Amino acid sequence: MDIVGIGTDIVECVRIGHMIEKHGELFLARVYTAREIRYCQGKKHATEHFAGRWAAKEAILKCLGTGWQKGMCWTDMEIRNEPDGGPRVFLGGAAKDRAKDLHIADILVTISHCRAYATATAVAVSK
């Protein structure tokens, strides 16, 4: 297994909270999948969870080496939780195509958050 790319991001939770307050469902549907929205809204500190997934998606884009070019959409990346609670990355659309082009077998991600900040690191690995 070889490392193909690595990315990290940090975001202020209040920034994501303001985006949710200002743009509501439009913002949520543009950035998060329906599954992610349900997960985060089911948490006591939903804004922190939304911010964590935002940071994870930014970190994934960095490890793919694309940023927001090449037709990438926020919802091309989904963060789900494994039964043990750990986050797992699922790709679709342009993000999946880019991963295939780079021979990426998996993207490992870790997310941390507190009241003020959320951070994530993603590592893309080949077979």
From first to last of its 127 residues, the chain has per-residue pLDDT tens of 899 999 999 999 999 999 999 999 999 999 999 999 999 999 999 999 999 999 999 999 999 998 777 688 999 999 999 999 899 999 999 999 999 999 999 999 999 999 999 999 999 999 8
Q: What is the rounded CA–CA span in Å between residue 75 and residue 107?
A: 16
* List of E strands, the chain: 3-12, 77-81, 87-91, 104-113, 117-126
pTM (global) more than 0.75: yes
Burial class (CB in 10 A: 0-12, 13-18, 19+), 74: buried
The dotted CATH code for 3-126 is: 3.90.470.20
Q: In this structure, what is the dihedral angle of CA atoms 73, 100, 10, 18, given to the nearest 10 degrees?
A: 10
